[in-house]
């Protein structure tokens, strides 16, 4: 089994509350309720791209500290704003952050002026670079309403779309992931080989990441980690990122960020006094 490893800034997002929430949008060429579907290929599509919003009503006040947008079609000129509030009018706002829709990249890339030094990675291949943008609150907040505001007036498609929204919790271990991490592409295609010919059934490729947490405190092992394992199981979605917000290589940040489900979990062990370890494996859900 490979091992996910990251700097101490690596994180896992879990406990997505959008499945039981009420979602509404400023416009919808393709229904906004698709955002409640875990499959990122089932998108919500707005009628425009100048300014579009999606509002998530959790039904009651809930503890939240993580937000994300998955599989959106915006370019480097676009922005995404996330607001979290206690009221539907967003007068009592607990969290408010705006980011570029595509993570800035140091080095050659695509920016508003074209291909240049210090641009943005191109999202031409969603199988290779599924656009994930995350927003982390500095502490746990108790609110009810989340508003996502998308602005991208120069978007060539003329409309904004997204495959999944995330409103939930974050887990960041005090020691990060263990060094030596790896990820791989998995190809589930089938090949039938006869004496005279070869037949193939092509299927979408997806990434697999396996992460080991080698030195958790008792509070983390039997608190946040145990709660995360129980909530996720194998049927709930998560986002895991080894190099989030990488300032030196946006390509590395996207390559090591996965939206998917848990494919395997190991038991929590006790290798050292007052230190505990476990392993999580994530399977990507592709558009």
Count Cα atoms within 13 angstroms, Cβ side, for 172. Answer: 15
State yes or no: pLDDT of 174 exceeds 70. no
Residue written as token pair 């608190």: 223
Confidence grade of residue 83 (pLDDT, cut at 50, 70, 90): very high
* CB distance 263 to 184 below 8 Å: no
Q: By C-alpha distance, which of 50, 17, 160, 144 is closest to 93?
A: 144
| Angle at the Cα of 102 from the Cα atoms of 96 and 105, rounded to 5 degrees | 115
pLDDT at res. 99: 92
* CB neighbourhood size of 28 (10 A): 17
Compute and round to an integer the Cα radius of gyration of the chain: 20
**Comparison of pLDDT for 21 and 187, the residue scoring more:** 21
State yes or no: pLDDT of 107 exceeds 80. no
Mean confidence (pLDDT) of the chain:
83
Q: How far is CA 97 from CA 51, 108, 229, 247, 270, in A?
A: 16, 27, 29, 18, 39
Residue written as token pair 């009221």: 87
Residue pLDDT, tens place only, 111-145: 555 555 555 555 544 445 567 889 999 999 999 99
Q: What is the pTM of this model?
A: 0.84
Residue pLDDT, tens place only, 207-236: 888 877 777 888 888 888 888 888 888 888
pLDDT at res. 102: 80
Q: By C-alpha distance, which of 34, 32, 33, 39 is closest to 287?
A: 39
* CB neighbourhood size of 192 (10 A): 9
State yes or no: pLDDT of 12 exceeds 60. yes
The span from the CA of 47 to the CA of 29, in Å, is: 6
pLDDT at res. 1: 24
The span from the CA of 90 to the CA of 165, in Å, is: 19
Q: Which domains does the chain have, with CATH numbers?
A: 15-170 (2.60.120.260), 183-284 (no CATH)
Question: Read out DSSP for 231-243?
Answer: HHTTTSEEEEESS
State yes or no: pLDDT of 175 exceeds 70. no
């Amino acid at each position: 089994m490979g091992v996910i490893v990251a700097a101490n800034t690596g994180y896992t997002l879990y406990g997505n509350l959008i499945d039981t929430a009420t979602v509404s949008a400023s416009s919808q060429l393709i229904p906004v309720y698709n955002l409640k579907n875990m499959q990122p290929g089932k998108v919500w599509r707005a009628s425009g791209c100048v300014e579009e919003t999606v509002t998530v009503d959790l039904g009651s006040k809930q503890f939240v500290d993580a937000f994300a947008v998955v599989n959106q079609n915006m370019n480097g000129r676009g922005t995404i704003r996330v607001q979290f509030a206690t009221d539907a009018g967003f007068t009592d706002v607990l969290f408010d952050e705006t980011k570029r829709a595509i993570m800035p990249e140091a080095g050659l890339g695509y920016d508003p002026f074209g291909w240049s030094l210090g641009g943005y990675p191109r999202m031409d291949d969603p199988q290779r670079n599924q656009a994930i943008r995350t927003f982390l609150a500095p502490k746990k907040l108790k609110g009810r309403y989340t508003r996502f505001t998308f602005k991208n007036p120069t978007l060539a498609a003329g409309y904004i779309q997204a495959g999944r929204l995330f409103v939930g919790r974050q887990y960041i271990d005090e020691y990060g992931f263990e060094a030596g991490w790896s990820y791989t592409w998995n190809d589930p295609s089938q090949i039938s080989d006869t004496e005279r010919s070869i037949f193939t059934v092509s299927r979408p490729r997806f990434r697999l990441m396996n992460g080991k947490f080698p030195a958790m405190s008792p509070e983390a092992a039997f608190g946040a980690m145990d709660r995360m394992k129980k909530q996720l199981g194998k049927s709930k979605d998560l986002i895991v990122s080894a190099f989030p917000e990488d300032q030196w290589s946006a390509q590395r940040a996207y390559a090591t960020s996965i939206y998917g489900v848990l494919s395997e979990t190991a038991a929590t062990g006790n290798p050292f006094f007052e230190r505990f370890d476990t392993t999580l494996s994530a399977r990507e859900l592709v558009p």
